[in-house]
């Protein structure tokens, strides 16, 4: 049961969630329940050890694998999925970045190290371009990173990251060789939705997509410096290079020698003093235009190359290698921190683990394969168990917030049954709320912090035929502030009450209005669900 989540997995997972929402709107919840329960019974349950409780993340991972298999079968081979596209595109970027950086380092260093035999290579300019500029840029980026962290700014608000993300997404959809040009419009929108969901969802995914870009930039720096070092060592080994220093500013040789010793301090204790020029060599390699260059001593002119090579290694290459290793660790930690307790995950687990209630003769025990053309016709393998076993709460208990005018007419056993059947939750307590959502002070005195934290979810029952008002949206925002970030807040919709019951189906148009309004809150753990399925 070994498994490991990767970034492409989350892209595909979001795509399938988007597809399921559209399928639910078109054909109802029963189709999803039958399909996912059949997936669980046919392929997932046989892999579980007898008596062992299934792991939440593993169930989601196995479901994702089966959905990919079904998608591949439907497409007659390898399905076009955003995870696969992202993986191939990211691998292509690794190759392109490595080649461009290596070629850039080689070309730039070769031009600087060109020695005609009449004028030595300018150490001052070489050190400035290949060490000082790189080190300054690296320190500046680290300062910005630390500043943003100290201010609590989200990495997703970075201008550079946003521009790179947009460029990647634009390139992703322009790659005709993947067949996107012939893809249906609804499939394109699903792809775009999956990418946007992962990229913009701070809660749950966080900085997950920052680290691959971070690693790309470190790879660029590593390849660039390897190119520079390679050219420097090749030129030293195959040509008679001469290095000298000069400056319009009147710098004394003693000052330059002290500066060189200070720069060489990180490696001098290990390699000794032979890896950087001493005072006499620095004086002997100083180039003065009016004096010419023929009086300079060859031993002094070649004393600079170990210093330049180790400076690039110590101040440019090694920091990039360290940052690359840090990025790999942080990416792994970001993957481990991904939350699997969003409403989408809870609904899927409910469909996987909840026995289906179907009126099927007990003598009909044949197990039939999953029929993708009409999942509703699938034979339930656990129909007998569902009729005999008492429903259990898969996700724990929730706190139900019900309008006061409905509390008196609401059968609490029916509420419990609806919550278990439709959402997978039991009901811990019912609290009446003012439907006008005016002053919530009294309400939140009843809903203590302990109650909010003790319950795994909050249920806000609303009549769908009444459109959501601004005060209701403000109430949901305040409810989020008073609860934890991962607490699921479920806006459960019911239709117009009948004399015999308040639990009636919801009109499709009313449901769409509520979904659009709730989506405007941009809360990934806030969902709209039907308390009564059609």
Highest mean pLDDT among 113-122, 159-168, 278-287, 308-317: 308-317
- Give, rounded to a whole angstrom, the gap between the first and last alpha carbons of the chain: 37
pLDDT at 173: 54
Helix (H, G, I), strand (E, B) or coil at 232: helix
Total Cβ atoms within 10 A of residue 142 = 12
Read off the pLDDT of each residue in 278-283 and give the average, rounded to a whole number.
87
**pLDDT higher at 173 or 288:** 288
Q: Following DSSP, what letter does each residue of 310-348 receive, concatenated?
A: HHHIIIIIHHHHHHHHHHHHHHHHHHHT----SHHHHHH
- Taking only the tens place, the pLDDT of each residue in 19-77 is 888 888 888 888 998 999 999 999 998 888 776 777 889 999 999 999 999 988 887 77
Q: How confident is the model at residue 373 (pLDDT cuts 50, 70, 90)?
A: very low
Distance CA 459, CA 481 (A): 16
Q: How confident is the model at residue 188 (pLDDT cuts 50, 70, 90)?
A: low
- Taking only the tens place, the pLDDT of each residue in 425-465 is 888 888 888 766 666 676 777 777 666 667 788 999 999 99
Highest mean pLDDT among 84-88, 172-176, 229-233, 299-303: 229-233
| Domain extent listing, the chain | 390-530
The answer to whether 9 and 61 are in contact (CB under 8 A) is: yes
Q: What is the mean pLDDT of the chain?
A: 80
Read off the pLDDT of each residue in 369-388 and give the average, rounded to a whole number.
39
pLDDT at 169: 57
Q: What percent of the chain has pLDDT over 70?
A: 77
Q: How confident is the model at residue 378 (pLDDT cuts 50, 70, 90)?
A: very low
Distance CA 96, CA 114 (A): 27
- CATH of span 390-530: 3.40.50
- Taking only the tens place, the pLDDT of each residue in 201-229 is 545 576 787 888 889 999 999 999 999 99
* Residue 93 exposed, middle or buried by CB count within 10 Å (0-12, 13-18, 19+): middle
Tokens 């669900």 -> residue: 529
Closest alpha carbon to 453 in 504, 397, 522, 379 = 397
Residue 312 has pLDDT above 90, yes or no: yes
The long-range contacts involving 493-500, CB below 8 angstroms and separated by at least 24 positions, are 493/462, 493/463, 493/464, 493/528, 493/529, 493/530, 493/531, 494/461, 494/462, 494/463, 494/464, 494/531, 494/532, 495/463, 495/464, 495/465, 495/532, 496/463, 496/465, 497/406, 497/409, 497/463
């Amino acid at each position: 049961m070994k498994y490991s989540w990767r970034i492409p997995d989350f892209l595909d997972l979001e795509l399938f969630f988007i597809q399921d929402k559209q399928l639910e709107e078109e054909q109802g919840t029963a189709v999803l329940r039958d399909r996912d329960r059949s997936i669980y019974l046919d392929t997932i349950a046989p892999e579980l050890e007898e008596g062992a409780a299934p792991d939440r993340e593993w169930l989601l991972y196995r479901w994702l694998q089966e959905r990919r298999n079904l998608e591949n079968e439907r497409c007659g081979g390898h399905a076009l999925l955003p995870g696969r596209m992202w993986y191939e595109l990211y691998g292509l970027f690794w190759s392109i970045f490595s080649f461009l950086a290596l070629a850039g380092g080689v070309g730039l260093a070769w031009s600087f190290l060109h020695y005609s035999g009449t004028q030595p290579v300018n150490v001052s300019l070489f050190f400035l371009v290949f060490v000082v500029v790189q080190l300054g840029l690296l320190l500046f980026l680290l300062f910005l990173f630390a500043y943003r962290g100290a201010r609590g700014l989200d990495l997703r608000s970075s201008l550079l990251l946003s521009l790179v993300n947009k460029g990647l997404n634009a390139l992703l959809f322009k790659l005709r060789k993947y067949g996107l040009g012939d893809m249906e419009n609804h499939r394109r929108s699903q792809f775009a939705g999956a990418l946007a969901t992962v990229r913009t969802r701070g809660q749950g995914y966080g900085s997950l997509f920052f680290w691959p870009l971070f690693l790309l930039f470190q790879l660029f720096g590593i390849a660039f410096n390897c190119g520079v070092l390679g050219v420097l060592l090749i030129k030293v080994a195959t040509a008679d290079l001469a290095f000298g220093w000069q400056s319009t500013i009147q710098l004394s040789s003693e000052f330059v020698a002290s500066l060189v010793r200070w720069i060489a301090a990180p490696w001098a204790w290990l390699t000794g003093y032979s890896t950087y020029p001493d005072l006499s060599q620095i004086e002997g390699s100083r180039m003065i235009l009016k004096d010419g260059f023929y009086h300079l001593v060859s031993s002094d002119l070649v004393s600079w190359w170990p210093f330049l090579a180790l400076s690039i290694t110590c101040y440019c290459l090694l920091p990039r290698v360290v940052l690359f290793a840090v990025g790999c660790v942080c990416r792994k930690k970001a993957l481990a921190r991904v939350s699997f307790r969003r409403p989408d995950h809870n609904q899927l687990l409910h469909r996987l683990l909840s026995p289906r209630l179907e009126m099927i003769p007990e003598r009909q025990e044949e197990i039939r394969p999953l029929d993708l053309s009409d999942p509703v016709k699938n034979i339930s393998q656990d129909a007998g168990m569902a009729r005999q076993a008492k429903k259990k709460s898969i996700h724990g208990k929730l706190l139900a917030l019900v309008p006061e005018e409905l509390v008196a007419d609401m059968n609490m056993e029916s509420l419990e049954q609806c919550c278990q059947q439709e959402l997978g939750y039991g009901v811990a307590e019912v609290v009446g709320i003012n439907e006008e959502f005016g002053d919530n002070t009294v309400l939140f005195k009843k809903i203590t912090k302990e109650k909010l934290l003790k319950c795994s979810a909050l249920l806000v029952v609303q009549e769908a035929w009444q459109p959501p008002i601004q005060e209701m949206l403000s109430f949901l925002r305040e409810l989020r502030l008073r609860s934890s970030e991962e607490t699921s807040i479920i806006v459960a919709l019911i239709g117009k009450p009948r004399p015999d019951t308040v639990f009636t189906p919801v009109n499709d148009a009313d449901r769409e209005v509520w979904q659009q309004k709730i989506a405007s809150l941009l809360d990934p753990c806030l969902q709209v669900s039907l308390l009564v399925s059609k």
